[in-house]
Amino acid sequence: MYEALRERIIQSLSKGVKHMWRTKKFWGILILILLILGGAFYYFKSKGNTQQTSYTTGMVERGNIAQVITSTGTINPTNYVDISTNVAGTLEKVLVKENDHVTQGQVIATIDARQLQAVADDAKATLENSKNDLDRYSTLVNQGAIPQQTYDTALMNYQKALAAYDRAVANLSDTTITSPMDGTVIGTPLKAGQTISTGISTQMIIATVADLSNLEIYLTVDETDIGSVKKGARVDFTVDAHPGKTFTGYVSDIALGTKGNMGTTSSSVVYYTVKVAISPSDAANFFPTMTARATIYGDERSNVLVVPLAAVRTDKVGEYVYVIKNGQPERTSVTTGITGETTIEIVKGLNEGDEIVVSGDVGSTNTKKTNSGGSMF
């Protein structure tokens, strides 16, 4: 169109060019006309390009879908113990180091026992004296040589001395610290020479021993998804230490919280801890505190309408899908159900066999489309 217009203008100008070509007015008019023609050419070309967007279509189908819930957590030993002591003192010896294997009853550390030994010796001497007094007063009270009250006082003193001696022996025994279970020392134990304090809110941990053959993942799941998590559900997870490899476990427990601490809260959203058991045959692949990225498989539904995740779009009005009607995409509101790994359930708004836009830009009525052909999945 603009090519023909330019040709007519040039022909008209050629008739008077013999009279005007030497004048400044002629050259000004010619430049103005060329600018107008160039602008028109650019406008029509740009308009044509903006209308040539493309999208891909597919058909709404019936299929099976399983809800998936993604979460991140840490790997922890199922059985572990933080070893501490009830007596204060200086660590005399620490007999284990990180990664050492220990057995139940093995001595892992000792506390300087000299002061406690002296206390125990004094308690023993006091107990022996009070026992001698009690034996003597027992004979005398039977003979009527002393009042009953004197004997009762001796008995009370003996009982106090016995309790003090038992306490001193127990404290002395606590200076030898043993492992209560078979396992591996994880983390760095305290070092010899450090002072152990008691009577504080948090006990000082001398060492931690864990059974690394039995591991689990602690996942956090928010309150909107926790209702779909069931005990025994399959869980696939990955760790950065083994790129490209997926491991499988199962939900072993769902921590519902305790009184006064019903789950954890972040940004007004409540999260609950989901424990995932790891197969003992896989345990050797992991270390405690590794990060696990997990997919929990929840509710499953069969023979329902499903479309690719990308087909469902959302704005402030709600969820919608573009349905092809009379060759053109038409916005259609939908109600969705559970979300799978690559598909989403359609509860309302579409019918089996509907042609829909599954990806791409829906720009204008002149949009160029490409049918994906066959199944979308």
Tokens of residue 301, six digits: 């539904």
Residue 377, pLDDT score: 54
Q: Measured between alpha carbons, how far is residue 360 from residues 13, 58, 68, 262, 283 in Å?
A: 49, 12, 25, 44, 44
SS (H, E, C) 274-333: EEEEECCCCHHHCCCCCEEEEEEEEEEEEEEEEEEHHHCEECCCCEEEEEEECCEEEEEE
Residues 111-153: tens digit of each pLDDT = 999 999 999 999 999 999 999 999 998 988 888 888 999 999 9
Q: What is the C-alpha to C-alpha distance for residues 350 and 322, in angstroms, rounded to an integer?
A: 10
What's the farthest any 2 CA atoms get from each other in the chain? 162
Grade residue 291 by pLDDT with cuts at 50, 70 and 90: very high
**Residue 161 clears pLDDT 80, i.e. is over it:** yes
Residues 180-229: tens digit of each pLDDT = 999 999 999 999 999 888 766 667 899 999 999 999 999 999 888 888 89
Q: Which residue has the tokens 């720009």?
A: 363
* Count of all residues that appear for the chain in the document: 377
Residue 293, pLDDT score: 96
Residues 61-116: tens digit of each pLDDT = 999 998 889 999 999 999 999 999 888 889 999 999 999 999 999 999 999 999 99
Grade residue 364 by pLDDT with cuts at 50, 70 and 90: very low
User: Is the CB of residue 117 less than 8 Å from the CB of residue 143?
Assistant: no
Grade residue 314 by pLDDT with cuts at 50, 70 and 90: very high
Grade residue 318 by pLDDT with cuts at 50, 70 and 90: very high
Torsion angle in degrees (nearest 10) through CA of 184, 185, 186, 190:
180
**Residue 32 clears pLDDT 60, i.e. is over it:** yes
User: Is the CB of residue 58 less than 8 Å from the CB of residue 158?
Assistant: no
Question: In 3D, which of 182, 164, 197 has the Cα closest to residue 86?
Answer: 197
Q: Which residue has the tokens 């043993």?
A: 178
Tokens of residue 249, six digits: 């476990």
Tokens of residue 311, six digits: 């087909």
Q: What is the C-alpha to C-alpha distance for residues 355 and 329, in angstroms, rounded to an integer?
A: 9
Q: Among residues of the chain, what percentage have pLDDT more than 90?
A: 62
Q: What is the C-alpha to C-alpha distance for residues 279 and 288, in angstroms, rounded to an integer?
A: 15
Strand 61-77 to 215-222 pairing: antiparallel
Q: What is the C-alpha to C-alpha distance for residues 232 and 266, in angstroms, rounded to an integer?
A: 27
Q: At 265, is the secondary structure helix, strand, or coil?
A: strand
Q: At 267, is the secondary structure helix, strand, or coil?
A: coil
Torsion angle in degrees (nearest 10) through CA of 155, 160, 164, 170:
80
Q: At 33, is the secondary structure helix, strand, or coil?
A: helix
Q: What is the C-alpha to C-alpha distance for residues 56 and 72, in angstroms, rounded to an integer?
A: 34
Q: What is the C-alpha to C-alpha distance for residues 235 and 253, in angstroms, rounded to an integer?
A: 13
Average pLDDT estimate for 288-317: 93
Identify any residues that bridge with 371 across adjacent strands, giving them in sequence order. Answer: 57
Burial of residue 348, with CB atoms counted within 10 A of its CB: 0-12 exposed, 13-18 middle, 19 or more buried: exposed
